[in-house]
């Protein structure tokens, strides 16, 4: 039986990896839903970092523009 998506998202990454490894030993069927969840979490983390870095670049640009116009 496959978990609901909401239950799957509550699991820590280490648990997802453990379940994936256990299921891989016991089956020849698709395990892709664990794999997709791990990838989704990594992409989410990367997206968060890109947003933070974009905000920092914006702030640096504003400060630089203020410095140019103030001098």
- Left (φ > 0), alpha (ψ -120 to 50) or beta: where does 62 sit? alpha
Domain map of the chain by residue range?
5-70
Residues 23-61 have pLDDT tens digits of 877 766 666 877 888 899 999 999 999 999 999 999 999
- The contacts of residue 45 (CB under 8 Å, 6+ apart) are none
The C-alpha atoms of residue 46 and residue 42 are separated, in whole angstroms, by 6
Task: Give the number of other CB atoms < 10 A from CB of residue 47.
Answer: 10
Q: What is the pTM of this model?
A: 0.55
The C-alpha atoms of residue 23 and residue 33 are separated, in whole angstroms, by 11
């Amino acid at each position: 039986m496959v978990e609901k998506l909401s239950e799957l998202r509550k699991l820590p990454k280490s648990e997802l990896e453990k379940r994936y490894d256990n299921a891989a030993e016991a089956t020849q069927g698709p395990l892709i839903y664990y794999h997709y969840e791990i990838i989704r979490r990594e992409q989410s983390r990367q997206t968060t970092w890109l947003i933070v870095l974009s905000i920092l670049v914006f702030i640096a640009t504003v400060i630089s523009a203020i410095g140019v116009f103030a001098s």
